[in-house]
């Protein structure tokens, strides 16, 4: 490879609904894919059917008093413009604070269409919980070589504190793993190091002494506190939800069943991150 060719910055796309209020902080996203500064693009998705519905005489809204009134299209459009202005200001502030390229784009399409297009140009995609089912279906359908490595299902309010919990693919604990930074364990170590959170590793079956020693060594080298290595009899929904109940981020290998990932995103107070490891079982072969 020609070393004179500069690699492009990793691209993280954050899909936001214009109708849902989600608190945004770009700190975790800054180190989601690596230590190098990424390009972050926020996509404010306005559903055109909502605007069309607002123009119907039957459209109604419920105000803070609990009363129902006719939904005025002009009022809705003012709300959407205010949401756009607020988010654009936030992205400008976060961009300057973190020293990264962070921009906001307005997308007027059906949510599924917008997500499908986002997957085509993203290295990581972040979606709100109410878009989890559609995003997971699209994520599971990525079978050809693609740049998409991570799908993060973000909570409406990110916990102020919590541990990083990762379900480790057993092959990632063996000697001679893929390139550094490529596995879900590497992602967990990086996020724990950058956020100062403790790390808990979940392993299906008993972790042998070599795997446990390797995890401890990697944590020491990264300056991360390894809180526990927890064996699970199987990676069931209840077992994962219980082990990650205090997590700020739960990281899962990409071959976890979409229905389990969707249910975890609903049950947990933190984020759920699906990670496609280079060289993993579901990765495309070069």
- Domain with 137 in it: 1-156
Question: Is residue 65 scored above 60 in pLDDT?
Answer: no
What is the reported pLDDT for 193? 95
Q: Are residues 138 and 241 in the same domain?
A: no
Q: Which of 156, 173, 200 is the last residue of a domain?
A: 156
What is the reported pLDDT for 278? 66
Q: Are residues 237 and 109 in the same domain?
A: no
- Written as one string, the DSSP assignment of 108-147 is -S-HHHHHHHHHHH-SEEEEEGGGHHHHHHHHHT--SS-S
Q: Are residues 126 and 152 in the same domain?
A: yes
Question: Is residue 144 scored above 70 in pLDDT?
Answer: no
Question: Is residue 70 scored above 70 in pLDDT?
Answer: no
Q: Which of 136, 156, 176 is the last residue of a domain?
A: 156
Q: Are residues 286 and 172 in the same domain?
A: yes
- Quick one: what percent of the chain has pLDDT higher than 70? 77
Total domains in the chain come to 2
Question: Is residue 187 scored above 80 in pLDDT?
Answer: yes
- Please give the span between the terminal C-alpha atoms of the chain, in angstroms, as a whole number: 15
Structure tokens, 171: 């092959």
Question: For residue 282, which of 249, 256, 260 has the smallest C-alpha distance?
Answer: 256
Euclidean distance between CA atoms 98 and 21, whole angstroms: 23
What is the reported pLDDT for 273? 97
Which of the residue ranges 79-88, 164-173, 253-262 has the most confident prediction, judged by mean pLDDT?
253-262
Contact 172, 277 (CB under 8 A): yes
pTM (predicted TM-score): 0.84
**pLDDT range class, residue 83, cuts 50, 70, 90:** confident
Per mean pLDDT, which range of 62-66, 92-96, 120-124, 127-131 is the poorest? 62-66
Q: Read off the CATH number of the domain in which 27 is found.
A: 3.40.50.620
Q: Are residues 125 and 211 in the same domain?
A: no
Residue 255: helix, strand or coil by DSSP?
coil
Q: Are residues 195 and 279 in the same domain?
A: yes
In this prediction, residues 226-240 reach a mean pLDDT of 94
What is the reported pLDDT for 219? 95
Q: Are residues 119 and 200 in the same domain?
A: no
Q: Are residues 54 and 92 in the same domain?
A: yes
Contact 270, 152 (CB under 8 A): no
Per mean pLDDT, which range of 72-76, 124-128, 165-169, 249-253 is the poorest? 72-76
For 52-62, letters b (16+ CB in 10 Å) and e give: eebeeeeeeee
Contact 23, 157 (CB under 8 A): yes
Residue 51: helix, strand or coil by DSSP?
helix
What is the reported pLDDT for 73? 61
What is the reported pLDDT for 58? 43
What is the reported pLDDT for 2? 43
Q: Are residues 50 and 183 in the same domain?
A: no
Close Cβ partners of 95 (under 8 Å, ≥ 6 residues apart): 40, 101, 102, 103
Q: Give the up-direction half-sphere exposure of residue 24: CA atoms within 13 A in the CB hemisphere.
A: 30
Euclidean distance between CA atoms 149 and 41, whole angstroms: 16
Q: Are residues 11 and 145 in the same domain?
A: yes
Q: Are residues 251 and 195 in the same domain?
A: yes
Q: Are residues 44 and 169 in the same domain?
A: no
Determine if residue 58 is left, alpha or beta; phi over 0 gives left, psi from -120 to 50 gives alpha, anything else beta. Answer: alpha
Structure tokens, 96: 């300057």
Q: Which of 156, 171, 205 is the last residue of a domain?
A: 156
In this prediction, residues 173-184 reach a mean pLDDT of 62
Say how far residue 268 (Cα) sits from the centre of its chain.
14
């Amino acid at each position: 490879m020609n070393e004179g060719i500069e690699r492009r910055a990793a691209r993280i796309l954050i899909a936001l609904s214009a109708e849902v209020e989600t608190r945004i902080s770009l700190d975790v996203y800054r180190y989601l894919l690596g230590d190098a500064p990424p390009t972050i693009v926020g996509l404010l998705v306005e559903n055109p059917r909502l605007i069309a519905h607002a123009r119907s005489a039957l459209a109604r809204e419920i105000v803070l008093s609990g009363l129902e009134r006719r939904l005025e299209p002009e009022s809705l459009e003012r709300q959407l413009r205010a949401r756009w202005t607020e988010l654009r200001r936030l992205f400008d502030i976060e961009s300057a604070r973190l020293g990264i390229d962070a921009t906001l784009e307005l997308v007027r399409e059906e949510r599924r269409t917008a997500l499908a297009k986002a997957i085509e140009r993203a290295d990581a995609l972040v979606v709100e919980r109410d878009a989890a089912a559609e995003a997971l279906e699209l994520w599971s359908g990525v079978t050809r070589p693609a740049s998409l490595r991570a799908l993060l299902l973000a909570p409406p309010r990110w916990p102020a504190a919590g541990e990083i919990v990762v379900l480790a693919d057993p092959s990632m604990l063996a000697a001679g793993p893929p390139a550094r930074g490529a596995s879900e364990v590497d992602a967990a170590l990086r996020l724990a190091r950058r956020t100062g959170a403790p790390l808990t590793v979940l392993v299906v079956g008993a972790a042998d002494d070599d795997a446990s020693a390797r995890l401890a060594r990697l944590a020491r080298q990264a300056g991360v506190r390894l809180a526990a290595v927890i064996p699970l009899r199987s990676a069931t929904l209840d077992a994962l939800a219980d082990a990650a109940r205090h997590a700020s981020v739960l990281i899962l290998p990409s071959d976890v069943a979409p229905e389990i990932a969707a249910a975890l995103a609903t049950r947990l107070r933190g984020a759920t991150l699906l990670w496609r490891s280079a060289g993993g079982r579901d990765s495309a072969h070069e």
